[in-house]
Amino acid sequence: MVFSSLIFLYAFLPLSMLLYFVVPEIRVKNLVLLMFSLLFYAWGEPVYIFLMLFSILVNYLLGRLMEDEPAKKKHTLVFAVFINLLTLGFFKYYGFAVSGINALFRLQLPVRELPLPIGISFYTFQALSYLIDLYRGKYRAQKNLLSFALYISMYFQLIAGPIVRYKEVERQLTERRLSAENLGKGLARFVLGLGKKVLIANVLGALFDRVSGMGGTLTTASAWLGIAAYTLQIYFDFSAYSDMAIGLGKACGFDFPENFNQPYLSKSVTEFWRRWHISLGSWFREYVYIPLGGNRVKPWRHVLNILIVWALTGLWHGADISFVLWGLYYALLLIFEKYVLKKPLPGPLKYIYTLLAVMLGWALFSAGNLTEGLRMLSSMCGFAPGGLADTEALYLLRSYGAWLLAGTVLVLPLGMKLRDRLLSKSRFALAAASLVILLLSTAFLVTENYNPFLYFRF
Say if CB 228 and CB 404 are below 8 A apart: yes
Say if CB 456 and CB 160 are below 8 A apart: yes
How far apart (Å, rounded) are the C-alpha atoms in residues 150 and 188? 24
CB atoms within 10 A of CB 94: 15
State the catalytic residue, choosing from 75, 277, 302, 317. 317
Q: Indicate the SS3 state at residue 163.
A: coil
Say if CB 185 and CB 430 are below 8 A apart: yes
CB atoms within 10 A of CB 100: 13
Taking CA atoms, 456 is separated from 138, 337, 448, in Å, by 31, 31, 18
Using the Cα atoms of residue 392, residue 397, residue 235 and residue 356 in order, give the sign of their dihedral: positive
Say if CB 327 and CB 314 are below 8 A apart: yes
How far apart (Å, rounded) are the C-alpha atoms in residues 416 and 409? 10
DSSP track, 434-453: HHHHHHHHHHHHHT------
Say if CB 425 and CB 84 are below 8 A apart: no
Active site residue 317: yes
* Residues annotated as part of the active site: 317
